[in-house]
Amino acid sequence: MDQLPSLSALRAFEASARHLSMTLAANELHVTPGAVSLQIRDLESALGVRLFERRTRSLALTSDGAEYFATMRTAFRLIREATATLTMRSKDTVLTVTCTAGFATHWLVPRLRRFEEAHPDIDLRISASHRMMDFQRDGIDIAIRHGLGGYEGLASERLLDDEYVPVCTPETAATLGPSPTVDDLANLTLIHDVYRRDWELWLQAAGATRVNAMHGPVFTDGAGAYHAMKAGLGIALMRRSFVEQELAEGTLVAPFPIGLASALAYHLVYPTGALERPAIAVLRSWLFSEVSRTAPPA
C-alpha cells in the first residue's frame, strides 16, 4: 500500500519514542495511555515491524524503531515549527472565546456586530459549550464562565451578575389583570428548566403564599423553556442579561421586576499572562465596556 500509516499513530509513536513512556506521551497528546498503546500496536501491525521492546513498566526502542524515530522526530519538528509560525502570525487577528450556548445566543452574539465595527482587524470565534474546556488543548483564548469564579491556575474577573427574573409575552401578562400580585401567578403556567428549585426560591423571595412552585412543565434545557414561553405557554424564569434586549423592545415583559439574586455570576476567565497579548486585552476592555452600557444592541 502506498498510503501512509495513520498519522495519528505516527504522532503517538513519535511522542512515545521521545519520552520512552506511553503514559507521558498520552499526557502530552491529551489522550489516555490505552489510546497510545492501541495506536502503536496498530502501527506496528501495519508496518510489519516491532518498534518498541516492552518491559513491564518501560519501553525501549528496537533498532527498527530507533531508525524510524530519527526520521519521525525530524518530520514532526518540521510540522510543529511550520504550524507554530503560521498560527503565531494569526494570533492577534483571531481570538476564540468559549461560553455557554445560552450566553452566546442571548448576550454575546447580539453584540458581536458592535465588536466587529470597533475592531475590524480581530476575528472573534465563539465556541459555545457547557463543557469545561481546556485552554491549551482546545485552543481557547478566553472564556466566559458561569459560576463562582476563582478557577485554579487561571485569572478570573466578575463580568456580569446573574439574576433570574420571571418573563413572559405581553399577551400572557395581560391575563394577569391590571394590578397583579405574585399570588396571581397561580393562574399562569410556571415553565421550568431542570432546576425546579429556582421557581421555589423566587416565589419565596417574592412573598407568594398561594402558588404551587412544583407545578408546570419541565424542559431539559433553557432553550426549550425559552421557546415555550415565547409561544405563550406561560411564564419562565430567565437570566436578566439574556432577555434585557427583548424587555427593552417590549416583546417580552417582566410583570414582577423582582430578581432572584445569585452567588453565581458570569466571569471572564483567561490564562495568567494572556493579557500581554494585545488582542485579548482589547477584547477584555470591550466586554467590560459592554456590560457597563445600559442600552442593549439595536
Partner DNA sequence: ATCATGATTTAGCTGAACTCAATCATCATG
Partner DNA sequence: CATGATGATTGAGTTCAGCTAAATCATGAT
For DNA, the binding residues in 172-201 under the rule CB under 7 A are none
Phi, psi of 271 (to 5 degrees): -65, 145
Decide: is 52 part of the binding site for DNA (CB under 7 A). Answer: yes
Q: How far apart are CA 101 and CA 117, in angstroms?
A: 23
Give the range of 1-9, 162-170, 234-242, 260-268 binding DNA by CB under 7 A.
1-9
Rounded CA Rg of the chain: 27
Q: How far apart are CA 110 and CA 195, in angstroms?
A: 26
Residue 136 binding: pick among a second copy, DNA, none (C-beta 5-8 Å cut-off by kind):
a second copy
Give the range of 18-26, 120-128, 194-202, 258-266 binding DNA by CB under 7 A.
18-26
- Alpha carbon 89 to chain centroid distance? 25
Decide: is 41 part of the binding site for DNA (CB under 7 A). Answer: yes
Out of 32, 87, 181, 204, the residue judged to bind DNA by CB under 7 A: 32
Decide: is 139 part of the binding site for DNA (CB under 7 A). Answer: no
Q: Which amino acid is at 235?
A: I
Decide: is 51 part of the binding site for DNA (CB under 7 A). Answer: no
Helix (H, G, I), strand (E, B) or coil at 275: helix
Closest by CA to 208, choosing from 235, 181, 190, is 181
Decide: is 8 part of the binding site for DNA (CB under 7 A). Answer: yes
Decide: is 34 part of the binding site for DNA (CB under 7 A). Answer: yes
Decide: is 21 part of the binding site for DNA (CB under 7 A). Answer: yes
Please report, as ranges, the residues that interact with a second copy according to CB under 8 A.
1-5, 7-8, 10-11, 29-30, 46-49, 64, 67-68, 71-72, 74-76, 78-83, 85-87, 89-91, 93-94, 123, 136-139
Counting DSSP H helices and E strands in the chain, the numbers are 12, 10
Q: Which residues pair with 141 in a beta bridge?
A: none
Q: How far apart are CA 48 and CA 289, in angstroms?
A: 61
Residue 58 binding: pick among DNA, a second copy, none (C-beta 5-8 Å cut-off by kind):
DNA
Out of 1, 2, 4, 57, the residue judged to bind DNA by CB under 7 A: 57
Count of chain residues binding DNA (CB under 7 A):
29
Spatial strand order in the sheet of 235-239: 164-167, 235-239, 190-191
Residue 38 binding: pick among a second copy, DNA, none (C-beta 5-8 Å cut-off by kind):
DNA
Residue 253, number of CB atoms within 10 A of its CB = 20
* Residues 6+ positions from 85 with CB-CB distance below 8 Å: none
Out of 28, 35, 92, 275, the residue judged to bind DNA by CB under 7 A: 35
- Site of interaction with DNA (CB under 7 A): 6-9, 12, 21-23, 26, 29-35, 37-42, 52, 54-59
